[in-house]
Amino acid sequence: MELTDQEIIESYIEGNKESLNILVNKYLSHIYNFVKRLYNNESDATDITQEVFIKVWKNIRKYNPNQNFKTWLFTIARNTTVDWMRKKKVYTFSDLESPDDDESFGDKLIDSEPLPEAIFTQKELKTNLEKLLIVLHPDQKTVILLHISEDMTFDEISKVLKKPLNTIKSHYRRGIEKLRKNIVNAPNLID
């Protein structure tokens, strides 16, 4: 029977050093991929991922068992990545504080009709999606990646970003819309 995250953590706190290894193995790929897509830098993603797990180790005794471990872990991953981006001046503080949306949100959402197959194929889009993600604000990227790739609910993501649920939903819709526009307007991104 597979142990729950809570049981693994308890086992580690009780002195089973191997438990942390299990936890690292379980989430390494998720965290690495999340960080890599959020930051879009492969070599730094490795360092950030290491930093994330070290922070988890340092704070594991402060972890609240009533909280979802995955939410807690991704909060650390997101904060570590954003701190890293600030240090490297990838984004300024104000960029990270509020998504750069100069368009008024709401009515400008386009119908969700399928993207024209003439411009790109699904396979090509897959290959270049990371390039397209660059245009998104980190918060929008975080919401999209966590909701779609990690199957997290908007409620869980609102805990990760410590923002209201409606803001999260808005980030999501704006982010998806921005992606769609960029694909249509810049087909050269697709090799």
Contact residues for other proteins, defined by CB under 8 A: 15, 17, 20-21, 24-25, 28-29, 32-33, 36, 46, 49-50, 53-54, 57-58, 112, 114-115, 122, 125-126, 129, 144-145, 148-149, 173, 176-177, 179-180, 183
Distance of alpha carbon 103 from the chain centroid: 24
Shortest spacing between CB 61 and other proteins, in angstroms: 12
Q: CA angle at residue 130 from 176 to 158, to 5 degrees?
A: 45
When the beta carbons of 28 and 165 are compared against other proteins, the nearer one is 28
How many residues are there in the chain?
A: 191
Rounded least distance, CB 110 to other proteins, Å = 10
Dist. CA 48–CA 16, nearest whole Å: 26
Within 40-68, residue ranges assigned H as helices are 42-59
CB of 32 to other proteins, least distance (A): 5
Whichever of 61 and 89 has its CB closer to other proteins, that residue is 61
If the CB atoms of residues 8 and 176 are measured against other proteins, the closer one turns out to be 176
What the block records as the tokens of 120 is: 């790109």
Per-residue DSSP letter, 66: T
In whole angstroms, how far apart are CA 84 and each of 31, 137, 179? 15, 15, 24
Which residue lies nearer to other proteins by CB, 50 or 92? Answer: 50
Closest CB 165 distance from other proteins, rounded Å: 18
